[in-house]
Amino acid sequence: MSSREFAVQAEMTAPRRSSGRLEFLTLPPEIRSNIYAELVAANRNRHPKNPNPSGSGGDIYEEYSFHLNIFRVSKKVYAEAYEVFRRENVFIVIESPWTRAEQQLVVDAQVPLVTRGTYAANFYPYHMVASIELPDMQYSKDLTSRFVICKDDLESFCQLWYYNEISTPNLNDHLRFTLALSNPSPVKDGYQTSDVGLPKSLQKELLAPFTRIKSLPQIKLSGDIDGDIEASFRRKLALPPDTPEICLERCTQLKDSGNAQFTTGEYRKAIKLYEQAFTAMHIPTHGRYRKVWGDLFYEKTLEGGMYDKQQGIRVRFMLRVKLVSNVMQAYLKLGKFLEVHFWGTRSVDTLRDSIGDIPENPPDGFPAPKEWGRICYRLGLAHEKLGNEPKAREYVRLAANWLPNDEGVQRKKAELAPKLL
């Protein structure tokens, strides 16, 4: 039920003074509880920080906007609202020796922080403290980064840690890690007590994301944790991570599934699958957001599977180029020419940063030359649709050099060629 629906329901059922003014505390408790939840529940107070009304798909960073002034209304309202605040939210405190950890979480994983710094140091109630330490290094605990996130973002936090792990080999070998679970509002037989642990279902939810992180020689669990749940957690933690071979094959399968959706005209579904394919090889992608992780992870000769004996970094590059080309084609079909322009320009700029100007013709041994030709061609079409004919001519001419046998590209090149008067 929305806030407006709550208000309508409250308006219809609430007693009034003779003046006609609605008395909040005379509303039924369940309605007051719903109103409090609208004000203090994290999942109802998470909003885009930089909303993009043009719908161009830029990076969307979010923030929380809890309406905590409700706690100042009266003692009774405070007691009721705070009970809802504790019931509706599950908070995790993160302690890290790296001060940049919180910024990386916000920027690279696009996770909003509940609070940070001195406010996080005094924050309550929380359900878990995840503490990362460097036992072999001396550093001031006063410089430890401390921030608070919600349970819904715990998966993103652990995923970011995993990405850092595969991008920085042996990172976890030097860490000591503690997960301390606690119940911020334990009740037993109707009384507050410190002897009641978290429900088993919540213990599982809090621990499960951390099984994504491997190679942690020192990991400690504390709190009243069920023995079977801890044993299951440690078994999953010991499982080996996916290999580059598995990741690249999963990426290929998702790409092919996207192609199948494309052929049936389901272009948006195809784009979603292409984004999942990028993510499968450690390039998380959604909308215009993209971050490349794990280059060192793929620097090996692949063993077995569909890419046996090929170089992992080369296979990954070819898949990236194919996926970019496919995404651009899907956006062309949808008439999203700004998106085609964005994806094509970003890829061309990335290539130029690597090798300089794009060669007029594909160099010998260049990976995925046809796909690069298609990227240039589709970028040229986007420029044409956006009214930039000189750029359209430049990229279509380049595409024609890379795709000399593509009749459609050659026709478009002739069509865009300057006409003599």
Residues 81 and 250: their CA atoms lie apart, in Å, by 47
Residue 8 pLDDT > 60, yes or no? no
In 209-349, DSSP assigns E strands to: 218-222, 285-286, 289-290
pLDDT of residue 377: 97
pLDDT at 193: 45
Could you tell me the pLDDT band of residue 56, with boundaries at 50, 70 and 90? very low
Residue 310 above 60 pLDDT?
A: yes
Sign for the CA dihedral angle at 98, 100, 104, 105 comes to positive
Burial of 291 (0-12, 13-18, 19+ CB in 10 A): middle
User: How confident is the model over 2-26, as a mean pLDDT?
Assistant: 57
- Spell out the residues 6+ positions from residue 30 whose beta carbon is closer than 8 angstroms to its own: none
**DSSP label at 59?**
-
Instruction: Identify whether the C-beta of residue 157 lies closer than 8 Å to the C-beta of residue 111.
Output: yes
More reliable by pLDDT, 357 or 245? 245
The pLDDT value given to residue 140: 58
Closest CA to 178 of 240, 82, 293, 92: 92
Maximum distance among all Cα pairs of the chain, rounded to whole angstroms: 94
Stated as kind and residue range, the H or E segment containing 232 is: helix 227-238
pLDDT digits (tens, 9 = 90+) for 255-305: 999 999 999 999 999 999 999 999 999 999 988 989 999 999 999 999 999
Q: What is the pLDDT of residues 333-350, one digit of tens each?
A: 999 999 999 999 999 999
Q: Are 35 and 10 in contact (CB under 8 A)?
A: yes
Q: Which residues lie closer than 8 Å to 254 by C-beta, 6 or more apart? A: 273, 274, 276, 277, 280
Residues 19-39 have pLDDT tens digits of: 556 688 899 999 999 999 999
pTM of the model: 0.84
Report, as an integer, the average pLDDT of 57-63.
67
Nearest Cα neighbor of 294 from 174, 171, 210, 130 is 171
Picking from 163-167, 188-192, 296-300, 372-376, which range would have the lowest pLDDT averaged per residue?
A: 188-192
d(CA 173, CA 171): 6
pLDDT digits (tens, 9 = 90+) for 128-185: 999 998 877 665 556 678 999 999 999 999 999 999 999 988 878 888 899 999 988 7
Pairing of strands 218-222, 176-181: parallel
pLDDT at residue 104, rounded to an integer: 87
Per-residue pLDDT averaged across 214-224, rounded? Answer: 84
For residue 337, give the H/E element and its range: helix 337-355
User: How would you write 373-408 as a 3-class SS string?
Assistant: HHHHHHHHHHHHHCCCHHHHHHHHHHHHHHCCCCHH
